[in-house]
Amino acid sequence: MVRVGYFLSCEEYGPDELVEQAVLAEQSGFRGLWISDHYHPWNDEQGQSPFVWSVIGAISQVCGLPVTTAVTCPTVRIHPAVVAQAAMTSATMLGGRFTLGVGSGEALNEHILGDPWPHAERRLEMLEEAVEVIRRLWSGEVVSHEGEHYTVDTARIYTLHRPPPQIYMSAFGPKALEVAARIGDGFITTQPDAESVRRFRELKGWHAPCMAGFKVAYAETAEEGLDHAYRLWASSGVPGELSQVLPSPQHFEQAASLVTRESVADATVCGDDVQQHRAAFDPFADAGFDEVYVANMGPNYRRMIEFYGDEVLPAVSS
């Protein structure tokens, strides 16, 4: 049994749909919300990318669930001093029910201002300094900072929530996990990776919180669900560091052309089989995650959320 939340995909749905999904998720018994933070979708077929901070503001007025960004990159496209203000405003509007999920980002979103896309080790260095800046600004004090990557000149955040939000870090690989344990309050990922959970808690403490998320394609038939998953999210099958370095939806479409329909079917729950949807949570529960968030792929999100409320959450959610 895990705490189950709903994952809002800003790459696939417009702002009104995302707000609607948040309301429906709360009504159906989901326990929290993840929301992605993108400038571009992964491919043109997904077709959306609303500004996450505006959507969070709207959600705060109609929904009482806690919200976590999954994840924000506070290093290149948006300066960490601005992310600090946006996150604290979100925490205030949500009455403290906000967690800042951060990660080292993808060129897909971060290259837009023409800045060079750093290598992986440099991105981790930037993220660590960015989180330092964010936490200092959350103190409410006047902050000046001259670091290797960022400068802040006599900045102060006046709209504050106490206590400040927690910060969860996305991490893939041992070096990133070490950084996550050093700068984060929790760990966030999209794989049922028991070894990463074990290592993070070994470094951070055995009760350190860990979140994960995955996607399903709800439909009346498995074949219809697979159609939606393959059309919209074949890009999820792009391997390795490619997902961090490809710069545009068009590049992802080219890479995803090598992803087979069969591989998507093997990796994705499609259709309306109750047992398959319930069983999808088992690897995450077995790996030790406290919270698991599930997203829908395709147009059937209303029915999926209702279906989960009736058939899935009572069996898997704590």
Distance CA 51, CA 14 (A): 10
One of 12, 38, 228, 277 is an active-site residue; which one? 38
What is the amino acid identity at position 224? E
The neighbour count for residue 191, using CB atoms within 10 Å, is: 13
Distance CA 290, CA 211 (A): 6
Distance CA 233, CA 298 (A): 9
Distance CA 166, CA 4 (A): 19
Using an 8 Å Cβ cutoff, are 186 and 210 in contact? yes
For the chain, give percent helix, strand, coil, nearest 5: 45, 15, 35
The per-residue DSSP string of 91-157 comes to: HHHTTT-EEEEE----HHHHGGG------HHHHHHHHHHHHHHHHHHTTTS-EEEE-SS-EEEEE--
Angle at 47 between CA 42 and CA 50, to 5 degrees: 90
CA distances from 24 to 5, 178, 301 (A): 12, 37, 9
Using an 8 Å Cβ cutoff, are 295 and 18 in contact? no
One of 106, 110, 128, 291 is an active-site residue; which one? 106
Using an 8 Å Cβ cutoff, are 88 and 49 in contact? no
Confirm whether 38 is a catalytic residue. Answer: yes
Confirm whether 277 is a catalytic residue. Answer: no
Which residues belong to the active site? 38, 106
